[in-house]
Amino acid sequence: MPAVLPGETDLYAVTDARLSLGRPLAVVAEGLLNAGVRILQYREKKLKAGQMLEECRLLRELTRRAKACFIVNDHIDIALLTEADGVHIGQEDLPIADVRRLVGPKMLIGLSTHSPDQARAAQAAGADYIGVGPIFATQTKEDVVAPVGCDYLDWVTRNMDMPFVAIGGIKENNIAEVTRHGARCCALVSELLGARDIAAKVKAVRAAMKAAV
């Protein structure tokens, strides 16, 4: 089954154990997948490599069962070991050309971008999709760049013909604005992981997106 790309689905969930209300990763992941989320990125910055590998093997099984796309943040070795659908990297990580040499032609490569120049460079280098943001201020990631607002999102919508996901501080109460500026796929972290009822939150977020179109 081909991996789902941003633009082919509306929500892109990102894991963070600190925001999951103490629930096990399997419980949170199953809640997201059962609610119809079709892209799940594993992003844990504070764990040992062995634990990350174990958790990614679990997520690979759950996403495969749900026919969902599984992305690993930063850790190319773990993405390869778990046969992930893709890897997501940042501006200060390995260059896309070198990542492609490691992962081969089939694995998706996503790249975080914060400006038009970075977006153009990502497309020229062969990224499969880009992250656009942070749209709003966010506390879920350390060393994050300043919010880019919707101006950069507007530029990407008008000028780029590649899949992209809007990310950074996106929540139920502001996702309509992001959608109105052209985002068809949005990444959410704390809004989904911190919900007591994940299915209800996914439904509410989707309703807010649909109302804005």
What CATH number is attached to the domain comprising 73? 3.20.20.70
Q: Note the pLDDT of residue 58.
A: 98
Question: Looking at the domain assignment, is residue 53 inside a domain?
Answer: yes
Domain count, the chain: 1
Which two structure tokens, joined as six digits, stand for 10? 């509306």
Domain span including residue 125: 11-212
Question: Looking at the domain assignment, is residue 109 inside a domain?
Answer: yes
Q: What is the DSSP letter of 19?
A: G
Ramachandran angles phi, psi of 41, nearest 5°: -105, 135
Q: Note the pLDDT of residue 143.
A: 66
Q: Note the pLDDT of residue 213.
A: 82
Which tens digits make up the pLDDT trace of 125-166? 999 999 999 999 887 766 678 899 999 999 999 999 999 999
Cβ partners under 8 Å of residue 75, min gap 6: 49, 52, 87
Classify strands 11-14 and 39-42 as parallel, antiparallel or unpaired: parallel
Angle at which helix 198-212 crosses helix 25-34, to 10 degrees, equals: 40
- pTM of the full structure: 0.96
Distance CA 23, CA 196 (A): 10
Q: Note the pLDDT of residue 80.
A: 98
Q: Is 166 left (phi over 0), alpha (psi -120 to 50) or beta?
A: beta
Distance CA 150, CA 78 (A): 33
Question: Looking at the domain assignment, is residue 5 inside a domain?
Answer: no
Question: Looking at the domain assignment, is residue 28 inside a domain?
Answer: yes
Q: Note the pLDDT of residue 125.
A: 98
Q: Where are the beta strands (DSSP E) in the chain?
A: 11-14, 39-42, 69-73, 86-89, 108-113, 129-132, 164-166, 186-188
Q: Note the pLDDT of residue 142.
A: 65
The SS3 call for residue 206 is helix
Which residue numbers in the chain have pLDDT < 70?
Answer: 1-2, 141-143
Q: What is the DSSP letter of 67?
A: T
Question: Looking at the domain assignment, is residue 4 inside a domain?
Answer: no
Q: Note the pLDDT of residue 53.
A: 98
Q: Which residue type, as a one-letter code, is found at position 62?
A: L
Residue 186: closest CA among 199, 201, 172: 172
Question: Looking at the domain assignment, is residue 6 inside a domain?
Answer: no
Q: Note the pLDDT of residue 35.
A: 98
Q: Where are the beta strands (DSSP E) in 26-183?
A: 39-42, 69-73, 86-89, 108-113, 129-132, 164-166
pLDDT > 90: what percent of the chain?
91
Helix, strand, coil abundance in the chain, percent, nearest 5? 45, 15, 40
The SS3 call for residue 191 is helix
Question: Looking at the domain assignment, is residue 87 inside a domain?
Answer: yes
- Residues found in the chain: 213
Question: Looking at the domain assignment, is residue 15 inside a domain?
Answer: yes
